[in-house]
Amino acid sequence: MNKREFLKKSALLTLGGVAASNIIAKASIISNPVDVKLSGNASGMTTNPSILLPGSGEPKEYTLPELPYAYNALEPHIDAMTMEIHHDKHHAAYTKNFNAAIKDAGIADMDIMDIFKNVSKYPAGVKNNGGGYYNHMLFWNAMSPNGGGMPKEMLMKEIEKSFGTFDSFKEKFSTAAATRFGSGWAWLVYSDGKLVVTSTPNQDNPLMDIAEVKGHPLLLIDVWEHAYYLKYQNRRPDYIAAFWNVINWDWVMENYHRAMGM
Ligand code: MN3
């Protein structure tokens, strides 16, 4: 981190909670098609410069976002050990390797959304680690200890419009997650004015130019074995079934509103 960056970050960190939240809210609109709440601490502060300094033109140093809840908060559905290793080891590694990859590729000053839009032009490390960094940031927010149940009125209507019933959406999403061969993700995205279920291999996401179905992510599930193997071993469908108990529908709704506004 150079001196100027350090001073800029320090200045942001010393702002009061309310003012800082506003900055974060404004900045995240610019840099994120989905509403990402990064912070797990009481004041709602974040230290993630990718959110605070979108498109600043200065080299970015991405930092591992804190989990928005304790490791054991999603039990019994997702166990504490899985959450700890998944966040502290896997997500940390993607974050570290993404920083190295964009530096090597000479694109450390580029907005992450612009990187995704042109990801096929860059070395595979940019795609794999950039997706790993970003997808996991979404994934922590897609779950909540107060999650589960059903989406609220407006989103529910949209789901029924696109899939017939909530149950048929649930089946479609679960099937996409269960049948994604090897490692990857299943997604609910807003694409061309409608909701679509899709899946991606590895750490690809629907914001990337290589995605089969492109759109704004509303909901996602990690189906890499590291996301479930400690508790569920080879029983991926059991993990997927448990995921429905922790889905943060308020966050999905916020993403839907954001996607509609774009
Ligand atoms: Mn993962």
Please report the domains of the chain, with CATH numbers, ordered by start residue. Answer: 1-50 (no CATH), 153-260 (3.55.40.20)
Distance CA 115, CA 117 (A): 6
Cα-to-centroid distance, 140 and ligand 1 (Å): 10
Dig out the tokens for 26 from the structure. 């404004």
pTM of the model: 0.81
Residue 137 CA, ligand 1 centroid: distance in Å: 10
| pLDDT for res 35 | 65
CA distances from 31 to 15, 27, 55, 57, 209 (A): 21, 6, 8, 13, 17
Q: Which of 203, 240, 196, 201 is nearest to 217 (CA)?
A: 196
Rounded distance between C-alpha atoms, residue 68 and residue 83, angstroms: 12
Q: What are the strands, taking DSSP E only, across the chain?
A: 184-191, 194-201, 216-222
227 CA distance to ligand 1 centroid (A)?
5
Six-digit token string for 237: 């469908």
- pLDDT of residue 17 exceeding 70: no
Query: Does the structure show a pLDDT above 60 at 241?
Result: yes
Residue 159 CA to residue 173 CA, distance in Å, equals: 12
Question: Beta 194-201 vs 216-222: how paired, if at all?
Answer: unpaired
Contacts with 79 (C-beta within 8 Å, 6 or more apart), sequence order: 72, 230, 231
Cα 195 to ligand 1 centroid, rounded to whole Å: 24
- CA 182 – ligand 1 centroid, Å: 13
Distance 91 CA to ligand 1 centre (A): 7
Angle (CA) 224-227-231 rounded to 5° is: 125
Q: Residue 49 CA to chain centroid, in angstroms?
A: 16
**More reliable by pLDDT, 8 or 85:** 85
Q: How far out from the chain centre does Cα 203 lie? A: 11
**Helices and strands, counts by H and E, the chain:** 12, 3
Q: Is the predicted pLDDT of residue 157 greater than 60, yes or no?
A: yes
When mean pLDDT is compared across 43-47, 147-151, 163-167, 238-242, the lowest value belongs to 43-47
User: Which phi and psi (to 5°) does residue 195 adopt?
Assistant: -90, 135
Q: How far apart are alpha carbons 217 and 212 in whole angstroms?
A: 14
The residues placing their C-beta within 5 Å of ligand 1, an ion, are 222, 224
> What is the whole-number distance in angstroms between the Cα of residue 10 and the centre of ligand 1?
31
5: CA distance to ligand 1 center in Å? 30
Residue 39 CA to ligand 1 center (angstroms) comes to: 19
Query: φ, ψ for residue 209 (rounded to 5)?
Result: -65, -20
Residue with the larger pLDDT of the pair 11 and 131: 131
Q: How far is the CA of 86 from the centre of ligand 1 (A)?
A: 6
CA 7 to ligand 1 centroid distance, Å: 33
Cα(233) to centroid of ligand 1, in Å? 15
Ligand 1 centroid–CA 88 distance in Å is 11
In 3D space, the residue among 173, 175, 177, 174 whose CA is nearest the CA of residue 196 turns out to be 173
Residue 73 tokens, joined:
């908060």
Q: Helices 124-142 and 92-104 meet at what angle, rounded to 10?
A: 150
State pLDDT tens for residues 168-225.
Answer: 999 999 999 999 999 999 999 999 999 999 999 999 999 999 999 999 999 999 999 9
Phi, psi values for residue 40, rounded to 5°: -105, 0
